[in-house]
Amino acid sequence: MSHRPKNTAVISAVTGRWLLLSIAACALSWSNSSLAVTHLQRGAEAPPLALKDRNGAEVTTAKLRDHVVVLVFGELYHEKTQQAWATIQSVLAEDRWTAQSIVTVLVTAREPREEDLKAFTGGRVQPTLARDPDRQAFGAYRVTAMPSIVVLGRDGRVVNAMAGLIPRLGDILTDSLLFACGKLTAEALDRSLKAVPTTQASEPEIRADRIAQLASQLARRDLPEMAADKYREALALNTRHRAAHLGLATLLLGQRHLSEAEAQFRAVLADQPDSTQAALGLAFVQTLRGGAELDTAEQAVRAVLARNPSQARAHYLMGLIFEQRNKPQEAAASFKKASELLLDRAEQE
């Protein structure tokens, strides 16, 4: 981790020019009607800083360039600042930042006392303490509440500005830092800031899913009648439950209830025409029926193999079709291919 120890300067000389710029920015900011620090937009040039740390070293935005900066406006004695700092520390303690150059700067108006600083940092990550006795920096960043936190990118531009009191401080800070370190896209950061909830399935859909899972467990435990009942129960709740259709079809196929199995496979194909499992299941039904349906089955199996030549089950079905067509050599070759693929898969697993 590349946090600056204590007040080690990242900063060199402060110039009168910076001071003037700071004051000008402060005055400018007052004329804007936006309220708190959160008016700072992502990508905007950060308002300039012209402060000094406890050792008299300068803390300026120019000196902070090439670092990702977590700028905290607050006071050491202030409970909410302490709480926010604890969150920041816990975020920065993660290993993921080891290779990053992240600098933390705490801007305070009051002169920090040594004991306050010790209690504040708890011996962990210590920020660069930048004094702002006249609250010029507070004004420039429009800090109306403490703590306020601004993350700056290596290019000195704002990544995110936030109130330190938000419940999601840790998560948003993490994502802001990830963005600043080039590990998160702007879209992903936006999604995170909005915290759009994942689309939840409806209660019947969830229930159908659970019952279908239960059915598959029952089938696995060789309780086919119970499994079939449960698959049907799941389908009553969600007529488009693919796994339930396929599970029930497989059970019905095992019991050689071909027409019912076919109906289930067709239900899946109606919803998902490129379902390999349903296509092969239907082809299996047609193969078992034989006769004129063998051509349809072969066509379907060949289509699957064209999409995925490594489909072991498709090769097996081709073997069955060849067998029915009285082509033992081709059948044997297909069965061999299927078994080889299965063995390969088993080895990989």
Partner 1 sequence: MWIGLCRWLGTCGWLVATTTLVSSVAFAAGADAPAAPPATAKPTKVTETCVTEVCHGAIVARKVQHGPSAQQKCLACHQYADPLAHHFQLVSEPNELCRKCHNIALRTTVHSPVAKGQCTGCHDPHGSDFKGILLADPTRGLCVTCHKQNFASKKFVHGPVAIGACILCHEPHSSWQPKLLTQTPDKLCVGCHNELVPKGDEARHVHAPVKDGNCTACHDAHASDAKYQLRAAAPALCLNCHKDTAKLLASSKVTHGAVQDGAGCAACHSPHFSQLPKLQRSTQPQECLACHDKPLKTAAGVTLTNLAALLKDNPQQHGPIREGACTACHQPHAAENFRLLTSEYPPEFYASFNLDRYALCFKCHIPDLVLKQQGTGLTRFRNGDTNLHWLHVNREKGRTCRACHEVHASKNPFHIRDSVPFGNAGWMLEIAYKQTPAGGGCSPGCHTARAYDRDHPIAQPSTAPSTKGTP
Q: What is the DSSP letter of 97?
A: G
Contacting partner 1 within 117-136 (CB under 8 A):
132, 134-136
Q: CB of 281: closest distance to partner 1 in angstroms?
A: 23
> How many other CB atoms are found less than 10 A from the CB of residue 277?
19
Long-range CB pairs of 13-18 (<8 Å, 24+ gap) are 13/58, 14/50, 14/51, 14/52, 14/58, 14/59, 14/60, 15/50, 18/48, 18/49, 18/50, 18/60, 18/62
Would you count residue 184 as binding partner 1 (CB under 8 A)?
no
* Candidate ranges 96-104, 195-203, 317-325, 329-337; the one touching partner 1 (CB under 8 A): 195-203
Would you count residue 93 as binding partner 1 (CB under 8 A)?
no
* Candidate ranges 220-228, 291-299, 309-317, 337-345; the one touching partner 1 (CB under 8 A): 220-228
CA 40 to chain centre: 25
* Candidate ranges 206-214, 256-264, 286-294, 302-310; the one touching partner 1 (CB under 8 A): 206-214
> How many other CB atoms are found less than 10 A from the CB of residue 147?
26
* Candidate ranges 1-9, 42-50, 196-204, 249-257; the one touching partner 1 (CB under 8 A): 196-204
| Phi, then psi, of 174 in degrees rounded to 5 | -55, -50
Closest CA to 64 of 98, 21, 102: 102
Would you count residue 314 as binding partner 1 (CB under 8 A)?
no
Residue 45 has which token pair?
């040039």
Contacting partner 1 within 96-115 (CB under 8 A):
109
* Candidate ranges 6-14, 164-172, 283-291, 293-301; the one touching partner 1 (CB under 8 A): 164-172
> How many other CB atoms are found less than 10 A from the CB of residue 80?
15
Closest CA to 287 of 253, 324, 262, 312: 324
Would you count residue 218 as binding partner 1 (CB under 8 A)?
yes
Q: What is the dihedral of CA 243, 245, 247, 251, to 10 degrees?
A: 180
Would you count residue 31 as binding partner 1 (CB under 8 A)?
yes
Among 5, 123, 167, 273, binds partner 1 (CB under 8 A): 167
Radius of gyration for the chain, computed over Cα atoms and rounded to the nearest angstrom = 33
Would you count residue 51 as binding partner 1 (CB under 8 A)?
no
Would you count residue 39 as binding partner 1 (CB under 8 A)?
no
Would you count residue 192 as binding partner 1 (CB under 8 A)?
yes
| Interface ranges with partner 1 (CB under 8 A) | 26, 30-31, 33, 35-36, 38, 79-80, 109, 132, 134-136, 138-139, 143-146, 162-163, 165-168, 170-171, 191-192, 195, 197-198, 201, 206, 209-211, 213-214, 217-218, 221-223, 226, 230
